[in-house]
Homo-oligomer: A and B are copies of this chain.
Amino acid sequence: MTAVIALPAFQALVIFSVLLALKMGAVAFVTSKARFDSKVVLNPEDVPVNPGSQAQAEEALATLRAKRAHLNDVENIPVFMILALLFTLTGCSATAGWVYFGVYFVARTLHTIFYLKAVQPWRTAAFALGQLTQLGIMVQLVMHVL
């Protein structure tokens, strides 16, 4: 079964898919930590798991911010990973894989950092860079199959 794994960009695809998954996991961790530090949880049953916390109708501000950064990831990263896989399956070069997937990973990591640190307009710039990278892959995908 060397067919697929011999694709030039497969190595870059695997490395950056794993890194993107870890980056999303890091935001989930930041959310948990914000909930722990703020001592505010939504689910009453989470009080014993976060000693000293109280169940309230709304999360603390830091938790809400981490959740917004996470939701932005969820809105974008899985779709990118699928398009990156399709791009790899079309036999794109290893260089194309390293550049496209690498730039996207850097853009999304910066987006998360800028979101958590409340840095604008750099957060929007990092978001735009990620979207442009995905647009490049979409153009190449469509040109490949037409």
Report which A residues bind B (CB closer than 8 A). Answer: 1-8, 10-11, 13-15, 17-18, 20-22, 24-25, 28, 42-46, 48-49, 64-65, 68, 70, 74-75, 77-79, 81-83, 85-86, 89-91, 118-121, 123-124, 131, 134, 138, 141-142, 144-145
Distance of A96 from chain B, by nearest CB (Å): 13
Please tell me which one of the listed residues B17, B43, B123, B142 contacts residue A83 in the complex, with CB atoms under 8 A apart: B17
Instruction: Choose among B11, B43, B120 the residue that contacts A45 (Cβ–Cβ < 8 A).
Output: B120
Q: Are B3 and A3 in contact (CB under 8 A)?
A: yes
Residues of B within 8 Å of A81, CB to CB, are 79, 82
Contact A91 B1 (CB under 8 A): yes
Could you jot down 12 A-B contacts, CB within 8 Å? A1-B7, A1-B8, A3-B3, A5-B90, A15-B142, A18-B138, A42-B64, A42-B68, A44-B118, A49-B121, A70-B75, A85-B85
Nearest Cβ in chain B — how far from A117, in angstroms?
Answer: 9
In the complex, are the beta carbons of B75 and A28 less than 8 A apart? yes
